[in-house]
Amino acid sequence: MSILKAAKLYKSYGTKFNKQQVLKGIDLSIEKGEFVSIMGASGSGKTTLLNVLSSIDRVSEGTIHINQVEMTAMKEKQLAEFRKNHLGFIFQDYNLLDTLTVKENILLPLSITKTPKKDAEQKFDGVAKELGIYEVKDKYPNEISGGQKQRTSAARAFIHEPSIIFADEPTGALDSKSASDLLNKLSELNENRNATILMVTHDPVAASYCSRVVFIKDGQIYSQLTKGEQDRQNFFKDIMKTQGVLGGVQHEH
């Protein structure tokens, strides 16, 4: 079943006299339980694509359905409600509130949806243990490492069991060990919870943890790779080859 279905997405910035078209008619479908990454060179449109799919930004043309609901037809208020219940976000810079403990940060989505305390505690225990941050639950963000901050951010994204989780360069600010710890945890949550994750990354190592990689070039889908039965090392090699054909992928600001 498709969790996300995007059809003929166009996104332009600027005025009609000075228009920059960033997305040029993208079609994309993501099935329930898929772990998909979007890759592309700087300026290819990958971050813009993530932003419009996740409702952070609006498309200029096209339709986006999540859970068979058309997001692109929603007014701001409806969209805010939909986002609250169906979408999870992991950002490169963590986006944690410094005045709240790890536990309070993770519980935020449940406090917004007024989840009963007992249910909230149960969900917190499960996700915090799965992500290996239960022991630091009473610490504040400035008392924990970057890796722990990002796992806190991931726990907050997963706790309300959204239809899909959007991750924007989640390993961008992490050292290689913290990055692989996070990616292993995301893979486990993807498998154990059948969670659907869409991740933008410039890092072929990060992409090799996914089940499918979508390559964007000049605002269009250039090619796709599916992991299938192969191991991560071989999938990584395939990603590197495609990247080479694309002309290298730098970090997109």
Contact 208, 31 (CB under 8 A): no
pTM of the model: 0.92
* CA nearest to 30, candidates 47, 58, 7: 7
Q: What is the chain's pLDDT, residue by residue, as a tens digit (253 residues)?
A: 899 999 999 999 988 788 899 999 999 999 999 999 999 988 899 999 999 999 999 999 999 999 999 999 999 999 999 998 899 999 888 899 999 999 999 999 998 888 899 999 999 999 999 999 999 999 999 999 999 999 999 999 999 999 999 999 999 989 999 999 999 999 999 999 999 999 999 999 999 999 999 999 999 999 999 999 999 999 999 999 999 888 754 444 3
Question: Angle, nearest 10°, between helix axes 117-130 and 146-158?
Answer: 140
**Domains contained in the chain, CATH given:** 33-60+74-247 (3.40.50.300)
Three-state secondary structure of 206-223: HHCCCCEEEEEECCEEEE
Angle value at C-alpha 159, between 153 and 163, nearest 5 degrees: 105
